[in-house]
Amino acid sequence: MSVTDEAIAIAPRFAADELEAPPLTLRQLTWRRFRRHKMAMFGTIMLILLIVYSFVGALFFTEDYANLTDTSLRLQPPSREHPFGTDTVGRDILARTIYGGQISLLIGLTAMLVEVIVGVLIGAIAGYYGGWLDALLMRFTEAVFVIPSIFLLIVMAKTFGTEIPDLSLLGRTFSGSVIVVVLIIGLTSWMYLARIVRAQFISLKEREFILAARATGTPAWQIIWGHILPNTMAPIIVSATLSIAAAILSESYISFLGMGVQPPTATWGNMLQTASSDFTKIQNAPWFWVFPGLLIVLTVLSINFVGDGLRDALDPRSRAT
């Protein structure tokens, strides 16, 4: 047998349909890369379970039951009637974590939307137009950078948290402090995203397809939103995903200090604050803080895992193997 015949004999045999298979689309390629990231898949599954827990669980417990106090049941350990135990005024911790999870997740999502809107707007304008406008916006961004966000969050929440009245939405009652927390977190965390978007716009606005669009008289707004911005979505999606976890942690910080979301609205953060008010509760009633703390840890880790997976999947330099 000749060398050529031997090479043909040992070469892999492909089916005709495999040879004629169409190339993968960008969405299919991204999904293939993402699902090969084991921790990202674990984070996705865990995040889905946490969302189901927080929102589907509300079908089994009413908000009135979550806020129902019965001092005769105070600090009951986990049992069949109360799987997560009860708090200092007899409220069921399982029901409280369900409704608290809704608020914590919604705060993370809405604060992320505020951050993305402000960061993309400032970064896009600065990167596309450049010149004095770029210099002005970047100096403003740097000025906001030097303000300690947690300090500002605490001060603003303490000042305005009780000034806004409670509001009702979709059959639920939210304390006005929720709006304050969302706005402050969103308006103090957009700077990193603005810099990322600006850098992407600076590198893309001199590409051939942008120069061609300018030559044909395409309006600037259409170039920004229709040509450049879609090509910067990968870093925006990754940054937005990770910012949800950061917002949930920020809310937990200030609620733990008693200056965030105020009762009767429950969050995982202010549940920890109630547990930490007396050291004996930490020692003698660990269920009081273990369950909300565990939910915060699982949520933040899951979101970070998903963000890492999206970063790798959306990286054009990575290879799908």
For 90, phi then psi, to 5°, come to 85, 10
Domains of the chain: 36-66+84-313 (1.10.3720.10)
For residue 44, pLDDT beyond 60: yes
For residue 3, pLDDT beyond 60: no
Q: Which residue has the higher pLDDT, 110 or 261?
A: 110
Alpha-carbon distance 263 to 57, whole Å? 20
Angle between helices 233-256 and 93-129 (to 10 degrees): 140
What is the three-class DSSP state of 180?
helix
pLDDT at 169: 63
Q: What angle do CA 189, 195, 201 make, to 5 degrees?
A: 135
CB atoms within 10 A of CB 221: 9
**Taking Cα atoms as reference points, which of 85, 104, 61 lies closest to residue 296?**
104
CA distances from 287 to 64, 135, 136, 217 (A): 22, 52, 51, 65
Alpha-carbon distance 49 to 46, whole Å? 5
Angle between helices 149-160 and 177-187 (to 10 degrees): 160
**8 Å CB contact between 157 and 181:** yes
For residue 89, pLDDT beyond 70: yes
Per-residue pLDDT reduced to its tens digit, 130-148: 889 999 999 999 888 887 7
For residue 178, pLDDT beyond 50: yes
Angle between helices 38-56 and 93-129 (to 10 degrees): 120
